[in-house]
Amino acid sequence: MGKRIVVGVAGGIAAYKACALIRAFTEAGHQVRVIPTESALNFVGAATFEALSGQPVHTGVFTEIPEVAHVRLGQQADLVVVAPATADLLSRAAAGRADDLLTATLLTAHCPVLFAPAMHTEMWLHPATVDNVATLRRHGAVVLDPAAGRLTGVDRGPGRLPEPDEIAALAELLLARADALPRDLDGRRLLITAGGTREPLDPVRFIGNRSSGKQGYAVARVAAQRGAEVTLIATNATALPDPAGVAMVRVGSAAELADAVAKLAPESDALVMAAAVADFRPVHVADAKMKKGADSEPSGIELVRNPDVLAGAVSARADGQLPKLSVIVGFAAETGDENGDVLFHARAKLARKGCDVLVVNAVGDGKAFEMDHNAGWLLFADGTESVLEHGSKTEMASRIVDAVAGLLRG
């Protein structure tokens, strides 16, 4: 059902990206009220915000006096999202100022408040901003970590606005679960794999699978916004935006993925193996493109087994080689068959793989792959089992990260 969302827009170059965010919310059926600051209107005109939201747009407190807009908009909102939140806006919000409609609205909001900062790296790292962010978090707001990358001009570094789709996904998560983004993973290092490996046959062909990477990316996104230092080993998930604040490592085949995990696992506290890793690869990889020939018949492809990365991490830890790695999470996409149902096969897989948690999805009939919603179970090594209710992959990710955080706390 549609919710009431206030989108605050502060005066930064990333203000244009707020348009895509507003669009995402209205397309999801929400009622959006846009409140720009006066300086935001230097970047995007009020007419654009009015057209996108279908609602009037004002910046000051001396409009809509009979409706007491500066109090009502905050009181009635289900969610307030400020994107971009500039250094100045964060400072005014942290101080509890109410000198325009947006800051007044922030003071009257009872709902979850999400700030998506965007500014130059120096401003983001300045102790004043660091303090303001800490203050806002202490007050209960969610302040996203910005993405790193190219800023205005030639500058690079943390300070980029996370992609609108990413902000929208985290906003939807807060609408579903107001307490879904606590900063409980500060100082933890998580290694996450996502996507589907490709096993080359020749320079243009490969054996692959249908994994989109969405679930693993969502886990990375949520863990990073809960304070973890996240490295995402991504394999062929090019359709997805890099999650903000996450270090990316790109690989192609199962062997490359295995090498990257072997290199990074020793310094990680948790390993989350969401990637769909090919079990087999072709024995021969042709250097040049294979030709079909004039009248040749297709020949078989000889395969050899790939290393099991998850099982390898479990046994390396058992041998004492990974003293820091305390949580290992596996994924299983299962179908029922004549031998048993999905859970029967999943329990057997948990026992076989020896990981601490197995995230189980039922697949087949268009379920799971490439979809935005999912459902399943969490199976723990101690025999505990919990249902993952049907929800977005971001909601599932937040439950998976809950499990990791719980196990890290011991």
Binding residues for CTP: 279, 289, 307-310, 331, 349, 353
Asked if residues 358 and 182 have their Cβ atoms less than 8 Å apart, the reply is: no
Q: Residue count at the site for ligand CTP (CB under 6 A)?
A: 13
**Under rule CB under 6 A, residue 306 binds ligand CTP:** yes
CB of 362 to ligand CTP, least distance (A): 12
Asked if residues 357 and 403 have their Cβ atoms less than 8 Å apart, the reply is: yes
| Number of CB atoms found within 10 A of residue 339's CB | 8
Using DSSP bridges, classify how beta strands 270-273 and 189-195 pair: parallel, antiparallel or unpaired.
Answer: parallel
- Binding ligand CTP (rule: CB under 6 A), the pick from 330, 369, 379, 399 is 330
Can you say how many angstroms the Cα of residue 308 is from the centroid of all Cα atoms in its chain? 26
CB of 280 to ligand CTP, least distance (A): 9
CB of 51 to ligand CTP, least distance (A): 45
* Residue from 344, 367, 356 nearest 215 by CA: 367
Q: 365-377 b/e with 16+ CB inside 10 Å = b?
A: eeebbeeeebbbb
CB of 239 to ligand CTP, least distance (A): 20
CB of 231 to ligand CTP, least distance (A): 16
- Binding ligand CTP (rule: CB under 6 A), the pick from 331, 374, 378, 391 is 331
Which residue blocks in 12-163 are alpha helix, DSSP H?
A: 15-27, 46-53, 69-76, 87-95, 101-108, 121-125, 127-138
* CA atoms of 176 and 406, how far apart (whole Å): 21
* CA atoms of 84 and 90, how far apart (whole Å): 10
Binding segment (CB under 6 A) for ligand CTP, from list 130-138, 151-159, 304-312, 386-394: 304-312
SS3 243: coil
Asked if residues 132 and 96 have their Cβ atoms less than 8 Å apart, the reply is: no
Cβ closest to ligand CTP, residue 27 vs residue 365: 365
Asked if residues 25 and 7 have their Cβ atoms less than 8 Å apart, the reply is: yes
DSSP one-letter code for 65: G
Cite the annotated binding site by residue number.
Answer: 279, 289, 307-310, 331, 349, 353
Residue 209 is among the residues annotated as catalytic for this protein: yes
**Under rule CB under 6 A, residue 341 binds ligand CTP:** no
Cβ closest to ligand CTP, residue 182 vs residue 307: 307
Cβ closest to ligand CTP, residue 8 vs residue 376: 376
Cβ closest to ligand CTP, residue 273 vs residue 388: 273
DSSP one-letter code for 267: G
DSSP one-letter code for 365: T
Cβ closest to ligand CTP, residue 77 vs residue 358: 358
Measured distance between the N- and C-terminal CA atoms of the chain, rounded to whole angstroms: 38
Binding segment (CB under 6 A) for ligand CTP, from list 37-45, 80-88, 326-334, 398-406: 326-334
CB of 332 to ligand CTP, least distance (A): 5
**Active-site residue, selected from the candidate residues 209, 306, 339, 361:** 209
| Number of CB atoms found within 10 A of residue 132's CB | 24
Cβ closest to ligand CTP, residue 24 vs residue 310: 310
Q: Half-sphere exposure (CA, 13 Å, Cβ side) for 344?
A: 7
* CA atoms of 289 and 273, how far apart (whole Å): 32
* Side chain identity at residue 378, one-letter code: L
Asked if residues 119 and 90 have their Cβ atoms less than 8 Å apart, the reply is: no
Asked if residues 278 and 306 have their Cβ atoms less than 8 Å apart, the reply is: yes
**Under rule CB under 6 A, residue 397 binds ligand CTP:** no
Binding mask 240-279 for ligand CTP (x = CB under 6 A): --------------x------------------x-x-x-x
Cβ closest to ligand CTP, residue 95 vs residue 304: 304
Binding mask 14-43 for ligand CTP (x = CB under 6 A): ------------------------------
Binding segment (CB under 6 A) for ligand CTP, from list 3-11, 135-143, 242-250, 330-338: 330-338
The contact set with ligand CTP (CB under 6 A) reads 254, 273, 275, 277, 279, 306, 308-310, 330-333
Tell me which residues are annotated as active site: 209
